């Protein structure tokens, strides 16, 4: 027999397994309705591939795994998909999630299925069969088995977890007593997949009947070509924790942040290997499991073969649980389980126990007292943590310090809370802290991703700008070289750029000779023309606003219609008079406002043409031609601007002459 070790801490709570361990496994009758959550495992939820109203057969794939860490979901019985909707999930926080609801037809009609010959299967084919069957860890975590059975390192030891250390739960105990041959067959399949490592079955010494049944199965199969050893370990909670069982059987400790595969180890639950045998040898997906129903409020406490998706209320009715006597309804055991607030939730792949506790059967939920720093939690912690320190960090929301004290190594076994004299619900604090840490890490990752995308974009824009500038300079250099080559080939030809500049200079000189000297500007107070224009504009604006008010008053039949009409009439006369005075003054000076508007429009258009050509220069194929067009356009704009300036100077001169006379 292999040498056994021990682990730090641990506790010895009352086992209370006798309530359900002596009765054989009972197959629960088919319920009228099954509720299948899309997330029954660690990783990405599955995606429904059936539609409402569709008839499905027993064992049919109804939800496909999404991604590497995910698991398929199959119909536990034949029937009709009546809905795909949000339902309450079996979760401590009573979360909701998408579920497929099947109304069973009572026919239990299977899809076509057949077993496989392991000797004819390659490792990839064997893994594919396990993945297609939707096998997940049945010990509580729900990790997809096909992923766990693809270790990146060589495996020397396969550990089968049959400890079942949690009080009250006897599902694995009865499984080993009644299905020992199938369990051994499943172990052989996993050994084949991992390269025939030795196998250690860890089972607590409080299960003598299960030990005898497994021993007999191994003897009957005469496994001379394999190495399977039953290791009977002392009863101590939580010896069924993966890391604790590994330490008991091998003396090795899984490093912080590491996984057993790094030590050449793979750990599987006893129920999981039986499900693997059913999937490969019988072709049956994971559609049911053994669930313990126990507690003093359960009249027929025992172990039941239950279809996945069966509602807890149906299971409680079949086990004759008296809900009137039930003080707490717990999914799982009293140490690591959680209270169900609603019995209308389904059995999922990881549901190993429903505990219907009577009054005072479990410790009452009470207000806890202050921590007295007794240190009992540290002595009981199997992960060798400092529970009281993690508690203080969590209360202060110092989650970074809790992480530095290895919060993630907490297995949430509840040993610390069980020994706490102040009745502090320590595990609840740790679960909250872990949730907050996950949220904060996700936010940090999103922020880092956003920062990285922003920096990448900024660098891309800079690179594009530099590349465009480089291309523009290259085109300009090429254009200059081409012009030089043309001039060298034909030295007598006129330079178009020089000619355009000469025309502009000539026009400027002609304009300067034809215009008089600039007239000094007239202030607003001394400019009657501007005063007339302003008065006319103000009067028109007032008339427009008053006319609108009059129209609104007429529409609503307001009492001020008459007064507003009088105001509009007076403003109309005033506006006409102001416009007539402005027109008379313009005629007297010989001014033409329309001509000034046309000159302004020409100046604006020519300026826009220059800007457009300058913008197109960076991407132009013939930069020299565009530069020549720019010179011509600038000349036109200069001419238009000069014409506008001349007109304005002439108008100002006329106004000044009128004022002086």
- pLDDT band at 498, cuts 50/70/90? low
Mean pLDDT calculated for residue range 460-464: 93
Question: What is the Cα–Cα distance from 224 to 440, expressed in whole angstroms?
Answer: 53
What is the 3-state composition of the chain as percent helix, strand, coil, each rounded to the nearest 5? 50, 15, 35
The pLDDT of residue 504 is 65
pLDDT digits (tens, 9 = 90+) for 429-458: 999 999 899 889 989 999 999 999 999 999
Residues 316 and 324 sit within 8 Å (Cβ to Cβ): no
The maximal CA–CA distance of the chain, rounded, in angstroms, is: 135
Residues shown for the chain: 661
The pLDDT of residue 308 is 97
Question: Which segment of 138-152, 300-314, 599-613, 637-651 scores lowest on mean pLDDT?
Answer: 637-651
- pLDDT band at 92, cuts 50/70/90? confident
Written as six digits, the tokens of 447 are 């922020």
The pLDDT of residue 497 is 60
Which CATH fold would you assign to the domain 18-358?
Answer: Rossmann fold (3.40.50)
Instruction: Write out the H or E segment, with its range, that includes residue 159.
Output: strand 157-161
The pLDDT of residue 518 is 47
The pLDDT of residue 628 is 77
Position 42 pLDDT exceeds 80: yes
Higher-pLDDT residue of 302 and 498 is 302
The pLDDT of residue 522 is 42
pLDDT digits (tens, 9 = 90+) for 95-124: 899 999 999 999 999 999 999 999 999 999
Question: Which segment of 8-12, 240-244, 292-296, 647-651 scores lowest on mean pLDDT?
Answer: 647-651
pLDDT over 90 percentage in the chain = 62
The pLDDT of residue 450 is 93
Higher-pLDDT residue of 128 and 519 is 128
Higher-pLDDT residue of 132 and 584 is 132
Mean pLDDT calculated for residue range 459-475: 91
Written as six digits, the tokens of 472 are 């523009």
Question: What is the Cα–Cα distance from 655 to 589, expressed in whole angstroms?
Answer: 7
- pLDDT band at 484, cuts 50/70/90? confident
Average predicted confidence (pLDDT) for the chain:
88
pTM confidence score: 0.70
- pLDDT band at 638, cuts 50/70/90? confident
Residues 383 and 416 sit within 8 Å (Cβ to Cβ): no
- pLDDT band at 513, cuts 50/70/90? low
pLDDT over 70 percentage in the chain = 92
Higher-pLDDT residue of 512 and 488 is 488
**Per-domain boundaries in the chain:** 18-358, 366-493, 503-660
- pLDDT band at 492, cuts 50/70/90? low
Task: Scan for tokens 């396990």, then name that residue.
Answer: 130
Position 515 pLDDT exceeds 50: no
pLDDT digits (tens, 9 = 90+) for 374-427: 999 999 999 999 999 999 999 999 999 999 999 999 999 999 999 999 999 999
pLDDT digits (tens, 9 = 90+) for 247-266: 999 999 999 888 999 999 99
Q: Which of 411, 409, 402, 391 lies closest to 440 in space, CA to CA?
A: 402
pLDDT digits (tens, 9 = 90+) for 592-617: 777 778 888 888 888 888 888 888 87
Residues 50 and 149 sit within 8 Å (Cβ to Cβ): no
Task: Scan for tokens 């050994």, then name that residue.
Answer: 191
């Amino acid at each position: 027999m292999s040498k056994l070790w021990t682990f730090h801490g641990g506790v010895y709570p009352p086992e209370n397994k006798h309530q359900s361990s002596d009765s054989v496994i009972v197959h629960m009758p088919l319920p009228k309705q099954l509720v299948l959550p899309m997330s029954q495992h660690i990783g990405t939820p599955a995606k429904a591939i059936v539609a409402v109203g569709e008839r499905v057969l027993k064992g049919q794939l109804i939800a496909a795994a999404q991604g590497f860490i995910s698991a398929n979901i199959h119909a536990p019985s034949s029937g009709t998909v009546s809905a795909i909707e949000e339902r309450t999930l079996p979760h401590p926080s009573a979360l909701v999630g998408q579920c497929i609801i099947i109304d069973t037809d009572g026919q239990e009609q299977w899809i076509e299925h057949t077993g496989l010959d392991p000797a004819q299967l390659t490792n990839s084919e064997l893994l594919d069969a396990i993945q297609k069957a939707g096998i997940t860890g049945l010990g509580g975590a729900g990790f997809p088995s096909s992923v766990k059975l693809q270790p990146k390192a060589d495996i020397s030891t396969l550990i089968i977890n049959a400890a079942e250390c949690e009080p009250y739960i006897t599902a694995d105990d009865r499984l080993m007593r009644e299905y020992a041959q199938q369990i051994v067959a499943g172990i052989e399949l996993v050994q084949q997949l991992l390269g025939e490592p030795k196998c250690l079955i860890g089972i607590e010494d409080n299960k003598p009947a299960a030990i005898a049944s497994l021993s007999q199965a191994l003897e009957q199969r005469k496994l001379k070509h394999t190495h399977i050893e039953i290791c009977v370990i002392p009863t101590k909670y939580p010896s069924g924790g993966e890391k604790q069982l590994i330490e008991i059987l091998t003396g090795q400790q899984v490093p912080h942040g590491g996984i057993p595969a790094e030590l050449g180890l793979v750990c599987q639950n006893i129920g999981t290997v039986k499900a693997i045998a059913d999937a490969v040898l019988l072709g049956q997906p994971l559609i049911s499991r053994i669930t313990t129903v126990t507690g003093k409020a359960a009249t027929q406490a025992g172990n039941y073969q239950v279809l996945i998706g069966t509602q807890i209320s149906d299971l409680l009715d079949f086990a004759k649980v008296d809900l009137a006597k039930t003080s707490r309804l717990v999914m799982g055991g009293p140490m690591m389980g959680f209270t169900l607030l609603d019995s209308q939730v389904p059995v999922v792949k990881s549901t190993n126990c429903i505990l219907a506790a009577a009054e005072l059967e479990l410790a009452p939920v009470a207000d806890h007292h202050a921590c007295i720093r007794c240190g009992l939690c540290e002595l009981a912690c199997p992960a060798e943590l400092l529970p009281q320190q993690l508690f203080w960090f969590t209360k202060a929301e110092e989650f970074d310090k809790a992480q530095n004290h290895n919060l993630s190594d907490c297995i949430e076994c509840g040993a610390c809370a069980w020994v706490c004299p102040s009745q502090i619900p320590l595990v609840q604090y740790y679960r909250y802290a872990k949730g907050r840490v996950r949220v904060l890490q996700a936010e940090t990752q999103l922020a880092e991703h956003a920062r990285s995308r922003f920096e990448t974009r900024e660098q891309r824009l800079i690179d594009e700008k530099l590349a465009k500038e480089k291309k523009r300079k290259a085109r300009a250099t090429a254009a200059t070289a081409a012009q030089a080559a043309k001039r060298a080939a034909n030295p007598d030809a006129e330079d178009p750029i020089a000619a355009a500049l000469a025309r502009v200079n000539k026009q400027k000189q002609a304009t300067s000779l034809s215009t008089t000297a600039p007239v000094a500007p007239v202030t607003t107070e001394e400019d009657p023309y501007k005063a007339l224009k302003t008065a006319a504009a103000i009067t028109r604006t007032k008339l427009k606003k008053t006319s609108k008010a009059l129209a609104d008053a007429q529409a609503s039949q307001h009492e001020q219609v008459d007064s507003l009409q009088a105001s509009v009439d007076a403003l109309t006369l005033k506006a006409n008079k102001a416009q007539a005075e402005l027109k008379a003054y313009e005629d007297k000076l010989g001014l033409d406002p329309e001509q000034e508007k046309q000159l302004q429009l020409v100046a604006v258009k020519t300026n826009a043409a220059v800007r457009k050509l300058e913008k197109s220069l960076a991407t132009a194929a013939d930069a020299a031609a565009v530069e020549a067009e720019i010179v011509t356009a600038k000349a036109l704009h200069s001419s238009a601007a000069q014409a506008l300036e001349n007109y304005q100077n002439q108008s100002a001169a006329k106004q000044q002459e009128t004022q002086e006379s």
